[in-house]
Amino acid sequence: MRPPGGYTTDMFNYANDIDIYRAWAELLVQRGNPLIYERRYHCCYASRKNRHRYRHTHDEIMSRYGVVMQEVVQVPGVFSSALGDIGFIFRSPEMEEVKTVVEFIHALKSE
């Protein structure tokens, strides 16, 4: 058994304010873990590929949405075709805000 791929496990942690890695270790060592949590946030991974021309710069994204950002990752080349070259992991209690952030990150320059 292994954790899900990509950054999914980190997203579990961010969505629920938990440490799933610690819970897994406690499960192995203590044969149990009463993991009590409440999902307070919607967590999202939105990525960009270097080949596209985006409307908003990295600095503009961070200036506007830095407060909801949990992690910004440079994706290793072998995984970039599936996960993009750079990934933004963010959370919000409001799904509408998540959608707005995704649209902002993904907005392309008009030609």
* pLDDT tens over the chain, length 111 residues: 455 677 899 999 999 999 988 888 888 898 877 888 899 999 999 999 999 999 999 999 999 999 999 999 999 989 899 889 999 999 999 999 999 999 999 999 987
Residue 36: its pLDDT value, please? 86
| Count of domains forming the chain | 1
The answer to whether the CB of 84 falls within 8 A of the CB of 105 is no
Residue 18 in domain: yes
Nearest to 104 by CA among 61, 62, 69, 63: 61
Q: Is residue 2 assigned to a domain? A: no
41 located within any domain: yes
Residue 13 lies in a domain: yes
User: Which residues span the domain enclosing 88?
Assistant: 8-106
Could you tell me if residue 20 is inside a domain? yes
